[in-house]
Every structure is written in C-alpha cells, then in structure tokens.
Homo-oligomer: A and B are copies of this chain.
Amino acid sequence: MTGQVRTVDGRVAGRRGQATRQKLLECLSEMLSTSPYRDVKVIDVARMAGTSPATFYQYFPDVEGAVLELAEEMAKEGATLTDLVAGRTWAGKPAWAAAEDLVDGFLSFWRKNDAILRVVDLGAAEGDKRFYKIRMKILNAVTNSLTDSIKELQDKGRVDKWVNPAAIAGSLVAMLAAVAAHQKGFQSWGVKQAELKPNLALLVHLGVTGKKPTK
C-alpha cells in the first residue's frame, strides 16, 4: 500500500537509488537550516551530496518538491504529538501537568524541526494547499484532542456556552507554534527560555479551563 518510491520519469527506485535520494534529502535539510530558503539552490544540494543536478531532478521535480517530501516525513513523526494531549484530565493538579507537558513537547518538536517548519509555515501562509495540508496534519494531532477536552468541560458546564472550542484550541496551538518559531525573539524582551514555559503553560491552562491553575 505504501507504493514503491519512484523517480520522476516513472522508474522504480532500487537500493542504490533510494540511498542517493535519501542523501539528497539529508543535504537539503542541512542546507535549509544553514541558509535562507530563497537561496537554497538545486546545484548546491547536489554538490553537497557529491552528485550532479541532473541526478537531483531524477528524484524530485524541484526544490519545493523535495521540501514537501521532507515535510511529509516530519509530519509522520509529528503524529506522536497527539500523545501530549490524549487521555489527559483538565482539572486540578493534573491539568497543570498536562499544560506543562503539552508546552514542553510542542516546543521541543518545533525546535528540532524548525528549518522545515519555517518553510511549511510560509507555504501554508502563501496559500499552497500541499503545505497547508501538512501543517494541518501536524497541528490537527494536538488541536483535535484539545478541542475535545474543551468540549467536554463545556458539556459539564465548566466552560461558557458561547465559547467555540475549536477556535480556542486552534488559537492556543497557533500560539505555541509561533512562540516556538520565534523563541529567540523573546530573549530580547529579557525573557529566558526556562521562564517562557511556565507562562505558556499558564496561558494554555487558562484557555482550556478558563481558570487559574492550582500548582
């Protein structure tokens, strides 16, 4: 069902082909985290991989296409983000722990994949549906769970009726993503990395439950 890896011209990639393809992806990833997206050239990636541009075009239609591949890989890994929210209770002390874990997990995931995520964010903002879908895939993992949690609290009457759980969840997740993408920015506010986390957790807790946490 996974379908074999295929070259642009339809050939089936064998062992050797897969290897060079992978190497190209690795070099692209490296390239993305060291130079601005706009300046990433096929020829540079090929050079770094010790091969020729023509080989690159055998496996990917263009740089963007290769980035999509990279992003897809990451999105698969990102599915595990669900675990950060699934099956958590949002009452009392466990709620605070839930918020903390969510912030922590999310931030470290974003940090680890910041280079590709930057590009995905850009593509999505530019209206490219392929990037947009990948971004959704990652965020959905968290947002859906969070939405359900809020809905549950709402049904119990612990959250106002006029609140839209999806809107709140989506906004909180967007916040986490944005803060993660611009972590360095906070340093110039005099806010340190370690200080940031509990404050984010507070906002998440407030957003989900509508109340201050009991630490």
Contact = CB atoms under 8 A, between A and B. Distances in A.
A175 B207 CA distance: 12
Nearest to A133: B188
Interface stretch (A14-22, A53-61, A87-95, A194-202): A194-202
Interface string A175-215: 10111011011101111000110111011001100101000
B118 A198 contact: no
Nearest to A189: B166
A190 B143 CA distance: 13
Q: How many copies does the complex hold?
A: 2
A106 interface: no
Contacts of A114: 125
Given A37-B126, A179-B171, A184-B127, A190 B166 contact: yes
Given A126-B118, A185-B136, A174 B164 contact: no
Given A168-B203, A170-B179, A203-B206, 20 more contacts: A36-B123, A36-B126, A37-B126, A38-B63, A121-B121, A125-B181, A125-B182, A136-B185, A139-B185, A160-B212, A163-B202, A167-B191, A170-B186, A171-B179, A171-B199, A172-B175, A174-B178, A177-B178, A178-B178, A203-B203
